[in-house]
Structure 1
């Protein structure tokens, strides 16, 4: 029997709200290993985030110019905004594999398979984390794990305004940033949600069940 995993797609939500929900679920899963795994797929209004220990030299705008948050994830500065699908899997890796390198590669595989549904060839770059298409980085990945329960995840540029990346050095890299729309004109984030869901279920071997947000957030915290 496949392990159940709940899928939540609340749409466009603020970064702080979108971050708080997975954090709530992580804390519940740490307290109760029977709490279901969850995958959030969301979009955010424009916001920049810094990874733990990231280099501020990669931020090229003046303080206060744009919304900026330092987070617990690994990696350097990145951008989130409309047209980008952000995935926050909250998984108990003790039920999968207690190996962070493996987990990062699995997230890349989810995105590579997602792109393949659009006849787009996604690629890895040796020594780096993320997914590239024809030399353009279309997906960034940054994670944080506590007691083997995951936080943060991936960001896939679908129709993202790429000018937003001009005021940072994305992930500390000099390679160009791209978006899925370059290689599949007319595609939308809504088109990608079921493709990501299918690929995620395949890669992690889970039974992904779409549920309302209130059903998950309203779950009681174990005492």
Structure 2
């Protein structure tokens, strides 16, 4: 497999590169894995509903309609993105492929000491982002929050 670490790449440029590599792969080329990050961008999959699209609070972050499944997704600085361009065995079983990708990511993250897992009914590998706790007393107004540093997690995945 040809692994390409590309740094920061505009989403549309990466999308075109994926299409070009897919055409090359179909013509007998090698499997390729693109590793990169994008400038801040939302991508809307085919199942994105109008009310799920970012509104005025997106502050100039582009929203790009894509040909993938799923819903709205944010990509941006500090987030490692991988695009495998591979030939799948026949008969095609896309769900099995997605689950195998998830298993691979769970293993890598676990080996790095990260707490990850699946969410029932959803695709993907999920990282607990934050915990919120508060005392049980009626008069006590203390509360605590703890969050994971997404940039640190992404840096670990680049090892």
Equivalent residue, structure 1, for 2:18: 22
Shift of residue 101, structure 1, vs aligned partner: 1.1
| Bigger radius of gyration | 2
Structure 2 counterparts to residues 6-21 of structure 1, below 5 A: 6-21=2-17
Equivalent residue, structure 2, for 1:131: 125
Residue 78 in 1 paired to residue 110 in 2?
Answer: no
How far apart, CA to CA, are the structure 2 residues paired with 1:18 and 1:180?
28
What 5-or-longer segments of structure 2 have no aligned partner?
A: 131-146
Q: Are residues 180 and 85 of structure 1, via their aligned partners in 2, closer, same or farther at CA, if it must alter by over 3 Å?
A: farther
Residue 181 in 1 paired to residue 149 in 2?
Answer: yes
How far apart, CA to CA, are the structure 1 residues paired with 2:158 and 2:36?
9
Measured against aligned partners, the alpha-carbon deviations of 1:136-160 in whole angstroms (never above 9, x if no partner) come to 49xxxxxxxxxxxxxxxxxxxxxxx
Measured against aligned partners, the alpha-carbon deviations of 1:111-144 in whole angstroms (never above 9, x if no partner) come to 211211221232112221011234x49xxxxxxx
How far apart, CA to CA, are the structure 1 residues paired with 2:112 and 2:59?
39
Q: TM-score, normalising length from structure 2?
A: 0.78
Shift of residue 188, structure 1, vs aligned partner: 5.9
Residue 92 in 1 paired to residue 57 in 2?
Answer: no
- From 60, 63, 72, give the equivalent of 1:68: 63
How far apart, CA to CA, are the structure 2 residues paired with 1:133 and 1:67?
25
Equivalent residue, structure 1, for 2:103: 109
Q: Are residues 180 and 91 of structure 1, via their aligned partners in 2, closer, same or farther at CA, if it must alter by over 3 Å?
A: farther
Q: Secondary structure at the match of 1:115?
A: helix
Q: Are residues 180 and 24 of structure 1, via their aligned partners in 2, closer, same or farther at CA, if it must alter by over 3 Å?
A: farther
Shift of residue 77, structure 1, vs aligned partner: 0.6
What 5-or-longer segments of structure 1 have no aligned partner?
A: 138-178, 195-223
Q: TM-score, normalising length from structure 1?
A: 0.57
Contact 2:112 2:156 (8 Å CA) reproduced: no
Higher strand share: 1
How far apart, CA to CA, are the structure 2 residues paired with 1:66 and 1:72?
19
Equivalent residue, structure 2, for 1:54: 48
Question: Which protein, 1 or 2, shows the higher relative CO under an 8 Å CA cutoff with sep ≥ 6?
Answer: 1
CA RMSD of aligned residues (A): 2.5
